[in-house]
């Protein structure tokens, strides 16, 4: 028998209320937000960042924020902020961190529209003379970059690719 997925209606007002409470609590910021950000940055630099696991780190912050909210204003965590709401907020925090720290795929009209996110990154390096190798296609230079673990951490879509040509 197939497992049914439950669909929950997320109370956007409660979600915003909890988000604002967490964002404005200086103690939570120092005790949890800064260490979570530092940990994720360390994982990104080391090539171990996994976007699927990132919300789990933010979940600790959201749960603690909900506990502190209830302690200050009263109520019950499970009724005010049910688990699906807290999970949605942890995903929101993870997405916000990724938006600030991971290169994004170009979406505006222009030279790189629709290209993978790594193309403008390597293009800039090539423009600064940082290509590992240079080949020519007639009059057009093609820059070749050898992929490093740091490149894979920044651009997981590179997979097991060894080089990128731009």
Indicate whether 112 belongs to any domain: no
Is residue 109 a part of any domain in this protein?
no
Mean pLDDT over the full length of the chain: 88
Rounded to 5 degrees, φ, ψ at 145 are -120, 130
In whole angstroms, give the CA distance from residue 29 to residue 152: 30
Residues 123 and 96 placed together within one structural domain of the fold: no
Nearest to 65 by CA among 45, 48, 90: 90
Say yes or no: 78 and 151 in one domain.
no
Task: Look at residue 163 and give its three-state secondary structure.
Answer: strand
Strand partners of residue 149: none
Residues 16 and 97 in one domain: yes
DSSP-based helix, strand, coil % in the chain, nearest 5: 55, 10, 35
The answer to whether position 3 is within a domain reads: no
β-bridge partners, 137:
140
**What domain range includes position 128?**
118-165
What is the structure's pLDDT at 128?
85
Start-to-end CA distance of the chain, whole Å, equals 49
- Residue 26 has a pLDDT of 95
Domain count, the chain: 2
**Confidence (pTM):** 0.62
Q: Is a pLDDT exceeding 80 seen at residue 155? A: yes
In this structure, are 43 and 96 located in the same domain? Answer: yes
Whether 74 contacts 1, CB under 8 Å? no
Q: Are residues 18 and 76 in the same domain?
A: yes
* Whether 124 and 78 share a structural domain: no
Residue 67 reports pLDDT greater than 90:
yes
Give which of 143, 13, 29 is closest to 89, Cα–Cα.
Answer: 13
Residues in the chain: 166
Q: What angle do CA 108, 111, 112 make, to 5 degrees?
A: 65
pLDDT in tens, 31-59: 999 999 999 989 888 888 888 999 999 99
How many Cα atoms are found within 13 Å in the side-chain-facing hemisphere of 117?
14
């Amino acid at each position: 028998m197939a497992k049914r997925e439950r669909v929950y209606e997320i109370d956007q007002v409660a979600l915003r209320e909890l988000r604002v409470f967490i964002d404005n609590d200086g103690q939570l910021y120092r005790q949890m937000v800064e260490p979570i950000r530092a940990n994720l940055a360390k994982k990104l630099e080391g090539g171990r960042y996994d976007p699927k696991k990132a919300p789990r780190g933010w979940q600790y912050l959201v749960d603690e924020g909900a506990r502190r909210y209830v302690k200050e204003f009263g109520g019950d965590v499970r009724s005010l902020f049910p688990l699906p709401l807290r999970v949605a907020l942890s995903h929101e925090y993870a997405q916000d961190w990724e938006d600030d720290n991971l290169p994004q795929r170009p979406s505006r009209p222009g030279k790189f529209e629709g290209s993978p996110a790594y193309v403008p990154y390597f293009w800039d390096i090539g423009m600064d003379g940082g290509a590992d190798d240079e080949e020519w296609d007639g009059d057009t230079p093609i820059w070749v970059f050898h992929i490093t673990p740091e490149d894979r951490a920044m651009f997981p879509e590179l997979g097991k690719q060894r080089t990128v040509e731009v």
